[in-house]
Each structure stands twice: as structure tokens, then as C-alpha cells.
Amino acid sequence: MTPLLEVRGIDKSFGPVKVLHEVEFSAYPGEVTALVGDNGAGKSTLVKCIGGIYPIDSGQIFFDGRQVTVHTPRDAGELGIEIVYQDLALCDNLDIVQNMFLGRERKNGFLLDEDSMEELAEKTLSSLSVRTVKSIRQQVSSLSGGQRQTVAIAKAVLWNSKVVILDEPTAALGVAQTAQVLELVRRLADTGLAVVLISHNMNDVFAVSDRIAALYLGRMAAQVKTADVTHAQVVELITSGRSGELGLKNGVTS
């Protein structure tokens, strides 16, 4: 199977600090790929490189087998890569519809076409079986954490994304909300999208992922099928970069 998204040999430094070392990573259509790693391992940086927020120092990005250049978030969006960032997902002072169409508003002549935007937002949320949101004209600041993630994910779906990357979507959520978001993540993949889920919750990872990619100090320690590994092995990969035969072979100096 050809990965929908593949990166090869990605290097990224911030000044003198090298954060990503020749990182390889693939995500497949119809699958959830969990991207795991300790705090500071480079997960968010990798995703921001893929999303055109940070320029890469070297390496290649392939989309559907074709090499592409991603210099800006717009480039990523045009390819069908949608990223729900950990730190800048939604605008608090706007309502749900405004957030979902932010920067891509529909116009009717000179005016915004509010009716058609509302209709499409409503349709997208209900296609995802989202029923917990009272009104799509609600300000995002009044939503719960789980609802915010849901809106951010629905936005990705609305724009016909092919790859959806979620950076720690459940980090701030309670048990019930986490379950809802994970269910949504699974449903997205089942519709054929390639979904990347960043998480360091092993229960979430094993509940929903088909594959696991473990970053250790900016290096890809291993990419495995979830069914082929145990919780303990993944924890070892996260904390030491290797686990038995799996992982980085040589001593790693950071």
C-alpha cells in the first residue's frame, strides 16, 4: 500500500539546536497512525514541518507517492493536509461557523453567504454524528474541550482533507470526552482518510491506532503495526529509543 503521506530524511534545527534527525514517517489511507514520544521528542515540530509552518532544513515530503513542496500552510491545505494544532486550533471570539470557514469564507457577491456556510457546517457536524453542540452560532469560547476538538476535526472534514493530523487532541479532556474524540478519530479513518494522532496516552493509542511511530530525541525509533507490539514495548521505545530488536541500534547522543 502506498502511504498517502510520507516524509524522508527530515532534518530541522532551531538555531544551534537540532530537533529532528533524518526523520522518516508514513501515514496510510484508512488508518490511524499514532505518533508517540516523550515531551520534547519533536512531535509538534515534525507536524509543523509537514504543515508548512516551519521550513525543513533537508529531506523530502511525498503526497500520494508524488514529491511535493510545502512552504506554507496554504500549500499543505491545497494538498488536502489539515492539521489541528495543539496550540492554535480555534479562535475563541468567533462562533463555530466562523471558525470552520475562517480564511475560506463563502461569498455571495460582496457579502458573506452566511446561509450556505451555516448549512454546510451543520451538515458536516451531523455527518460526523456530532450531537453535543447546541448551536453552531455559539462562540467557541463557550464550548467544552471535547466540543472544541470536535469542531476542529469537523473543519478538517469540511475541507475535504485527505490527511488529518491531530496534535494531542485529548490532552485536556476528561474520560467521556476523550472517548468521543477517539470515536470520531476512528470514524474519520474508516471513511478512508489518513489520520495521524499525536498522543502519549497508551490507552488511547492502543484503543484507536493501526500503526505506531515512536520518536525519541528527534529520531524515529520505530514504526510498527499496533497489533505487533505491547504497551510495554512502546513505553520502552518512548523512554529509551529501543526495545529488544526494535528501535535505534546505535547509542544516540543528543
Question: Angle 63-68-69 (CA atoms, 0-180°, nearest 5)?
Answer: 135
231 is written with which cell numbers?
504497551
Cβ–Cβ contacts within 10 Å for residue 214, how many? Answer: 31
Q: Please state the closest distance from residue 41 (CB atom) to ligand ADP, in A.
A: 4
Residues in binding contact with ligand ADP, number by CB under 6 A: 11
Identify what 41 binds: Mg ion, ligand ADP, none; CB under 5 to 8 Å per kind.
ligand ADP
Sketch the per residue contact string, 8 through 37, with ligand ADP: x for CB under 6 A, - otherwise: ------x--x-x-----------------x
Q: Please state the closest distance from residue 213 (CB atom) to ligand ADP, in A.
A: 12
Contacts of 56 (CB under 8 A, 6+ apart): 10, 11, 12, 49
Sketch the per residue contact string, 192 through 221, with Mg ion: x for CB under 5 A, - otherwise: ------------------------------
Considering the complex, state which of residue 37 and residue 247 has its C-beta at the smaller distance from ligand ADP: 37
Nearest CA-CA partner of 77 in 191, 189, 162, 194 = 162
72 is written with which cell numbers?
506554507
Distance separating alpha carbons of residues 197 and 181, to the nearest angstrom: 11
Distance separating alpha carbons of residues 71 and 50, to the nearest angstrom: 9
Element spanning 9, H or E: strand 5-14
Distance separating alpha carbons of residues 92 and 101, to the nearest angstrom: 14
Considering the complex, state which of residue 54 and residue 62 has its C-beta at the smaller distance from ligand ADP: 54
Subset of residues 187 to 246 that bind ligand ADP, contact rule: CB under 6 A: none
41 makes contact with ligand ADP (CB under 6 A): yes
From candidates 1, 39, 131, 227, binder to ligand ADP by CB under 6 A: 39
- Which residues bind to Mg ion, rule: CB under 5 A? 43-44
Residues of this chain that interact with ligand ADP (CB under 6 A) are 14, 17, 19, 37, 39-45
